[in-house]
Amino acid sequence: MTSYTLALLPGDGIGRDVMLEAEKIISVVENNTPLSFQINKIPCGGKHYLETGEEWPEGSFEFCRDEADAILLGAIGWPGAKTESGDLAGGSVILGLRSGLDLYANVRPIRLYDGVNHKIHGNFQQVWKPGMVDMVIIRENTEGLYHSLLRRCADAAQGRETWEPGEMDFPGLDGEVAWDPRPISRHGSERVIRYAFEIARRRNGAPVDGKTRVTCVDKSNVTRGCQLFNKIYHEIAEEYPDTETDHAYIDAFSMWLVRQPEWFDVVVTPNMFGDISTDLASVLQGGMGIAASANLGDSHGMFEPVHGSAPKYAGKNTTNPIAMISSVSLMFDWLGTKNNDPTCTAISDSIEQAVNQVLSGDKLTYDLGGSAGTSEVGDLVCQILEENLRKHIPIA
Ligand code: IPM
Ligand code: MN
């Protein structure tokens, strides 16, 4: 019997609500497959910091690094919650793990499911049919504009002395200046770009023409970091002659993303551009209630919905749990590949199928035009998942 150790980090706000649904999914899996789970649910985040003075209990980073087979995160961020240094309280959790575990590829699939309308207003409903939006944005996750904060959070998470960038002087600027360096390295770019080309191999190409295409999105007409990123993109592309190369500056990409989403298959981009464009891209798939993500390194994986903690909606049982449930599916898919465990892969497919089925029905949360609660949608996914698993996966 295979057992997996999971670190569950509910975090703040609706992160806690959707984590409850993830837990239900995991117990359905446990009860209907040969797998078992060791679950460690760790209180954490900005609210937890305000209440206890710590972002998470001591040893949590080490648990995630040394014990957990996979990490599931809800959301981080609570109004007014800042650490002594003025940084995001809970940053040790989300950014400390991204940096400290070298989770360099932030994988954010954007797919419009059957039965879901995108959220662009106007009469585009007929133009964009399900199937016309099916891309994955790969966001570099360990450097770029996030580098300083990532580094400080990884230091805090591991009890190390905090790194600060050295002095800089900016000619022509007077008075108080705040700044963030934006380093982009060859190593950091190579690994994430190669990851994007590898993922492209396992997909079906762009909806518009079925071609396998990796689009490099940057601002190489302006920044040196992007010039390096772009140069490395072209170097790596030579290793994949069957994949079509493609490039867009981030400003133009923002336009093309909305005008012609069917063009895109795999997109690879530096950290902050990926952060911004994936919120934008979520409207193409029905909103943040659907958007799931994986933070992947060579040895660790952390899975989380793209949405934030939405304090206003916390505890109200209104949030769409699908983004979290699809993140659980991404987790099983990754566990399957990493451990060569076909049961995990089959579980991932079964969750995905259940999500598909729920989204084409009418028990939906408010963001998709329904009036069902978080837990009702979660229960329905669980019910369908249970049927799927019984059909497809023999209990050992
Ligand atoms: C995300 C979030 C985080 C980020 C925040 C909470 C630090 O917006 O995962 O996209 O900026 O990366
Ligand atoms: Mn974001």
Going by CA atoms, what residue is nearest to atom 10 of ligand 1? Answer: 275
pLDDT of res. 165 = 85
Q: How far is the CA of 275 from the centre of ligand 2 (A)?
A: 5
Please report where in the chains the tokens 């703040």 appear, as a residue: 12
| Tally of structural domains, the chain | 2
Please choose from 275, 288, 304, 324 the residue to mutate so as to test ligand 1's pocket, defined by most ligand atoms within 8 A of CB: 275
| Nearest atom (ligand 1) to Cα of 98 | 12
pLDDT at 213 over 80: yes
Give per-residue pLDDT as tens, 252-261: 999 999 999 9
Phi, psi for residue 166 in degrees, rounded to 5: -70, 180
Residues flanking ion ligand 2, Cβ below 5 Å? 275
Shortest-distance ligand to the CA of residue 88: 1
Least confident of 223-227, 323-327, 388-392: 388-392
pLDDT at 212 over 70: yes
pLDDT of res. 126 = 53
121 and 79, same structural domain? no
Percent of the chain with pLDDT over 70: 97
- The count of other CB atoms within 10 Å of the CB of residue 14 is 30
- CATH of residue 238: 3.40.718.10
- Going by C-beta distance under 8 Å and a sequence separation of 6 or more, which residues neighbour residue 78? 12, 13, 45, 46, 47, 49, 50, 89, 90, 309, 311
**Which of 286, 315, 331 is the endpoint of a domain?**
286
Q: How far is the CA of 340 from the centre of ligand 2 (A)?
A: 31
Least confident of 112-116, 139-143, 211-215, 391-395: 391-395
| Nearest atom (ligand 1) to Cα of 95 | 7
Q: How far is the CA of 77 from the centre of ligand 2 (A)?
A: 11
pLDDT of res. 393 = 75
Shortest-distance ligand to the CA of residue 75: 1
Q: How far is the CA of 307 from the centre of ligand 2 (A)?
A: 7
Give per-residue pLDDT as tens, 53-108: 999 999 999 999 999 999 999 999 999 999 998 999 999 999 999 999 999 999 99
Q: How far is the CA of 2 from the centre of ligand 2 (A)?
A: 34
pLDDT at 135 over 80: yes
Cα–Cα distance measured from residue 376 to residue 380, given in angstroms and rounded to the nearest whole number: 6
61 and 83, same structural domain? yes
Range of the domain at 32: 1-103+297-396
Domain assignment present for 163:
no
pLDDT at 153 over 70: yes
Q: How far is the CA of 106 from the centre of ligand 2 (A)?
A: 11
Please choose from 9, 78, 95 the residue to mutate so as to test ligand 1's pocket, defined by most ligand atoms within 8 A of CB: 95
pLDDT of res. 113 = 92
pLDDT at 396 over 90: no
Going by CA atoms, what residue is nearest to atom 6 of ligand 1? Answer: 76
Domain assignment present for 126:
yes
Domain assignment present for 190:
yes
**Which of 286, 312, 327 is the endpoint of a domain?**
286
| Nearest atom (ligand 1) to Cα of 91 | 7
Domain assignment present for 150:
no
1 pLDDT tier (thresholds 50, 70, 90)? confident
268 and 333, same structural domain? no
Q: How far is the CA of 273 from the centre of ligand 2 (A)?
A: 10
Shortest-distance ligand to the CA of residue 280: 2
State the average pLDDT over residues 129-153: 94
pLDDT of res. 127 = 58
pLDDT of res. 166 = 87
Cα–Cα distance measured from residue 336 to residue 331, given in angstroms and rounded to the nearest whole number: 9
Going by CA atoms, what residue is nearest to atom 5 of ligand 1? Answer: 76
State the average pLDDT over residues 4-26: 98
Least confident of 20-24, 57-61, 128-132, 369-373: 128-132
87 and 129, same structural domain? no
Judge if pTM exceeds 0.85. yes
pLDDT of res. 120 = 77
258 and 120, same structural domain? yes
- Going by C-beta distance under 8 Å and a sequence separation of 6 or more, which residues neighbour residue 328? 22, 25, 26, 72, 303, 351
pLDDT of res. 209 = 96
Please choose from 9, 71, 83, 94 the residue to mutate so as to test ligand 1's pocket, defined by most ligand atoms within 8 A of CB: 94
Cα–Cα distance measured from residue 345 to residue 63, given in angstroms and rounded to the nearest whole number: 25
Going by CA atoms, what residue is nearest to atom 12 of ligand 1? Answer: 275
Domain assignment present for 56:
yes
Give per-residue pLDDT as tens, 297-315: 999 999 999 999 999 999 9
Burial of 213 (0-12, 13-18, 19+ CB in 10 A): buried
Q: How far is the CA of 276 from the centre of ligand 2 (A)?
A: 6
Q: How far is the CA of 272 from the centre of ligand 2 (A)?
A: 9
262 and 329, same structural domain? no
Residues with CB under 6 A from ligand 1: 76-77, 94, 275, 306, 308
Give per-residue pLDDT as tens, 31-55: 999 999 999 999 999 999 999 999 9
pLDDT at 123 over 60: no
Amino acid (1-letter code) at residue 314: A
Shortest-distance ligand to the CA of residue 94: 1
Q: How far is the CA of 88 from the centre of ligand 1 (A)?
A: 11
Domain assignment present for 227:
yes
336 and 396, same structural domain? yes
The number of residues making up the chain comes to 396
Domain assignment present for 143:
no
Percent of the chain with pLDDT over 90: 91
303 and 218, same structural domain? no
State the average pLDDT over residues 337-360: 97
**Which of 235, 261, 286 is the endpoint of a domain?**
286
pLDDT of res. 328 = 98
329 and 301, same structural domain? yes
pLDDT at 282 over 60: yes
233 and 120, same structural domain? yes
268 pLDDT tier (thresholds 50, 70, 90)? very high
Burial of 59 (0-12, 13-18, 19+ CB in 10 A): exposed
| Nearest atom (ligand 1) to Cα of 88 | 7
The strand pairing partners of 72, in sequence order, are 8, 303
125 pLDDT tier (thresholds 50, 70, 90)? low
355 and 211, same structural domain? no
211 and 117, same structural domain? yes
Domain assignment present for 36:
yes
Mean pLDDT of the chain: 95
Phi, psi for residue 362 in degrees, rounded to 5: -115, 5
